[in-house]
Structure 1
Amino acid sequence: MPLALFSAAGAAHVWTAGQGIHPLELGQRRILHPGRLRWLRALGWAVALFFLAAFSSLPTTEILARLLPQTDVAKFAASVAGALAALAAYALAVRLGEGRNPSEIALRPLLPELAFGLLIGAAMFAAVMGIMTAFDLYDVRSLGAAPVWTAAGRAIQSGVVEEIMIRAILLRLVWRAFGPWIAFAVSAALFGFGHIANPNATVFAAICIALEAGIMLGAFYALSGRIWISIGVHAAWNFTQGYIFGAAVSGGDFGPAIAKSTARPAFPEWLTGGAFGPEASLPALIVCSIVGLVVMGLAWRARHFAKRP
């Protein structure tokens, strides 16, 4: 399966478009220059970038959604524009505030790494639902053809914007301030408990998301030095969950789907995810944790956690 490709340098050369894997760039110029209180400057910069990404994406999507015709295709375009606005705002801010080209969103490896992430994300969620159906934990019914635009737009926007905010900003800059392990703990916890206000959310659901996605998606970033694989995994997981299987996504409805998947009420919520969706289930926790630990191990072996000046 795809993770085995990481062990071969030739395969890495292919899925990175010849760029290879490298430690993520933390930033060390201008606002992040070495010296007194760099940890505090890094945290302040993280907060500023976090809100910049949010306030460049969401208003763009809302404004375009009102200006464009009220069709599914137009709403998809508005969602994509919101994602691109967050990327552009982040790139400009890093160039101005950190005095560097943001290698974490380098364009040359975008397509192969994104495709690689999409493949992994879809395969992971399919594996989770395979376990669910094998043990009769879920009822999965085919609904036939359905418009894809709503689910695709939501998957793209959530994948891009959340990975910029949580990985490229929070994980990277807390790593700059305090090192990798605190950075992983903080970014994973914020990502998990950021879902606590979602419909049907529970503390267990937030813990699952923190351990599943918070660690696993950060591990892909730490391994490759770029966020494209993380974006691909994130978007494909949501799309496969919400459109292909028609399950709840973080407690919400993802729009029209080609199937409908519901947890069987006879089983406990910690086993199925209940109304929150399969990502709050034990099978999802196991699958994502295995992938996350494997990728973390690969990043460790590549010395991407080694102390740097």
Structure 2
Amino acid sequence: MTQMIFSDEPAKGWIVPSLAAPFLCVFILIISMLPGDLSLLNLGITDVKGEPQSPLGFFLMLVSFSALALAVAAWVRWVEKRSLASVGLCGEHGLRKFLVGLGVGIAMMGAIVAAIALSGGYRVGDLFPAFVSPAAVGWIFLLLAGFAVQASAEEFVFRGWLFSAVMRRWNMTAAFILSSAAFTLVHFSPRATLSEVVMTFTFALFACAWVRRSNSIWGVMGWHVGWNWFGGTGFDVPITGLDTHLPALVVKMVPVGPAWLNGGGDGPEGSVFTFVLLAAGFLILMLRTRPRQPDGKVVGVTGLAR
């Protein structure tokens, strides 16, 4: 029996086989984002590794990620011939769910940074250094828009489209594994350690569990935005190994001690505290009572109302 999440609307077009779906996802990502990425490189806004050289580079990442989201939306509408509701943009009060997720993401990142500092992994520096410069504060809030596009596009692609497409062809377990593997692959670097790969995969599993629990992607989009934005701007530490080149919005944290504690060059995402929090969050979301749809039916682990 076909297994679905978000919507029981049948696809009127063609859905790629499950094992091929992650490769199609990577292909669409490359062809849609490459023109924007090359343009930023040629303008000197990013380096050869694709890392932004200034806050402007982080803000302009919205160009490439917008192209990715539009390419996947076009695939859903014109090839699979299904609505955007069937890829997670569904349910009532989407904005409210997004904002709640945003707050949760900010709170979780703040909790991790606080835990690292209390454990001796960070030395506390200046308080609110960004407020010395109005330009820095302006850039920090512009980056909120940039991260809103970047993180929302990733959730739309991986936890919305890819997750639901694999489910329709196979089952939820396969959707968890294949969408998380694709997410890990596109974030992979030859310099990445095994712990960084495991962390990325755990991050993806947590996001999938949130989607499974909420039956939409609104909340997890907001969570991802808050997580990235506050991690990258709140403490003058890297986010996913990237430097925003801005002073801290809240407090400057200076890494001290082992990388397993403070994340080293990967920032707080590389800390053991992050792994523990995300793994615990994944288990809690998976073990919680199954969500109910507005009609009172319970959504099972396959995503089917019953």
1:203 is matched with 194
Within a 5 Å distance, the mapping from 1:265-280 to structure 2 comes to 265=257, 267=258, 269-280=259-270
Change (3 A) 1:76 1:111: farther
Whole-Å Cα distance in 1 between the matches of residues 22 and 188 of structure 2? 22
- Tell me how far apart the structure 2 counterparts of residues 248 and 170 of structure 1 sit (CA, whole Å): 28
2:133 is the alignment partner of 1:141: no
Alignment partners' CA distance in 2, 1:203 and 1:239: 25
Asked whether the equivalents of residues 219 and 292 of structure 1 are also in contact (C-alpha less than 8 Å), the reply is yes
Aligned residues: 277
User: 1:66 deviation in Å?
Assistant: 8.2
SS of the aligned residue for 2:247 comes to coil
Which residue identity does 2:196 align to in structure 1? A
Unaligned runs of 5+ in 1: 1-21, 34-39
1:286 counterpart residue number:
276
Matched, 1:120 2:104: yes
Q: Report deviation, 1:284.
A: 1.0
TM-score (norm 1): 0.74
Are the aligned partners of 2:213 and 2:286 in contact in 1 as well (CA < 8 Å)?
A: yes
Q: Tell me the alpha carbon deviations over residues 103-141 of structure 1, each in whole angstroms, 9 at most, x when there is no partner.
A: 122496432121011011001011111211122221232
In the alignment, structure 1 residue 131 sits paired with structure 2 residue 112: no
| 2:43 counterpart of 1:51 | no
Q: Distance in 1 between matches of 2:125 and 2:83?
A: 48
> Distance between the aligned counterparts of 1:188 and 1:156, measured in 2?
20
- Judging by fraction of residues, say which structure has more helix: 1
Whole-Å separation in 1 of the counterparts to 2:190 and 2:241: 6
> More displaced, 141-150 or 173-182?
141-150
Stretches of structure 2 that go unaligned for 5 or more consecutive residues are 46-53, 131-135, 293-298
Q: Say which of 46, 58, 68 aligns to 1:86.
A: 68
| 1:220–1:295 contact (8 Å) kept in structure 2 | yes
Distance apart, 1:156 and its partner CA:
2.5
Q: Which residue of 1 aligns with 2:48?
A: none
Q: Does the CA contact (< 8 Å) of 2:209 and 2:285 recur in 1?
A: yes
> Alpha-carbon deviation of 1:159?
0.4
Q: 2:17 matched to which residue of 1?
A: 41
- The correspondence for 1:187, drawn from 150, 155, 179, is 179
- Paired with 1:242 and 1:202, the residues of 2 have a C-alpha distance of 21
| Residue in structure 1 matched with residue 285 of structure 2 by the alignment | 295
Aligned equivalents of 1:30, 1:195: Cα separation in 2:
32
Provide closer, same or farther for how the CA distance between residues 140 and 299 of structure 1 changes in structure 2, counting only shifts above 3 A.
farther
Q: Which residue of 2 is the match for residue 4 of structure 1? A: none
Deviation readout 1:45-77 (Å, 9 max, x if unpaired):
55445533553355357659989x9xx897676
Structure scoring higher RCO (CA < 8 A, sep ≥ 6) equals 2
- How far off its partner does 1:242 sit? 0.9
Partners of 1:275 and 1:64 in 2: CA distance: 23
Equivalence for 2:206: 216
Please, which of 298, 301, 306 is the counterpart of residue 305 of structure 1?
301
- Give the 5 Å matches for 1:168-183: 168-183=160-175
The answer for the alignment partner of 2:157 in structure 1 is 165
- TM-score, normalised by the number of residues in structure 2: 0.75
Q: Distance in 2 between matches of 1:280 and 1:73?
A: 22
Could you tell me how far 1:241 is from its partner in structure 2? Answer: 0.9
- Taking only the aligned residue pairs, the percentage that are identical comes to 23
Distance in 2 separating the partners of 1:108 and 1:63? 38
- Distance in 2 (alpha carbons) for counterparts of 1:75 and 1:277: 19
Say whether the 8 Å CA contact 1:46–1:173 is kept in structure 2: no
CA distance 1:174–1:238, change in 2 (3 Å)? same
Moved more, 131-140 or 151-160: 151-160
* Distance (Å, rounded) in 1 between the aligned partners of 2:42 and 2:94: 30
Q: Report if the CA contact (8 A) 2:55-2:244 is conserved.
A: no
